[in-house]
Amino acid sequence: RDRDRAAPGASRFFDRMGQFLTLTGLAALIIAGIGVSNGVSSYLRRKREGIPTLKMMGADSGDIGRVYLVQIGMVTFAAILAGLVVGALLPPLAIALAGNLLPVRPDLALHPLPLAVSAAYGLLMALIFVLPPLSRARLLPVATLFRQDVAEGRGLDRPTLLAIAIAA
- CA pair distance 115, 107, nearest whole angstrom: 17
* Average pLDDT, 10 consecutive residues per value, the chain (168 residues): 67 88 89 91 85 82 88 93 92 82 77 90 90 83 64 62 73
DSSP H/E element including 22: helix 8-46
First and final CA of the chain: distance in angstroms? 101
Say how far apart CA 73 and CA 23 lie, in whole Å.
26
Counting DSSP H helices and E strands in the chain, the numbers are 6, 0
pLDDT of the residue at 84: 93
pLDDT of residue 46: 87
- Would you call 9 helix, strand, or coil by DSSP? helix
From its phi and psi, is residue 11 left (phi > 0), alpha (psi between -120 and 50) or beta?
A: alpha
Whether 72 contacts 65, CB under 8 Å = no
Pairwise CA distance, residues 30 & 9, whole Å = 32
Residue 119: predicted pLDDT: 92
d(CA 20, CA 13): 10
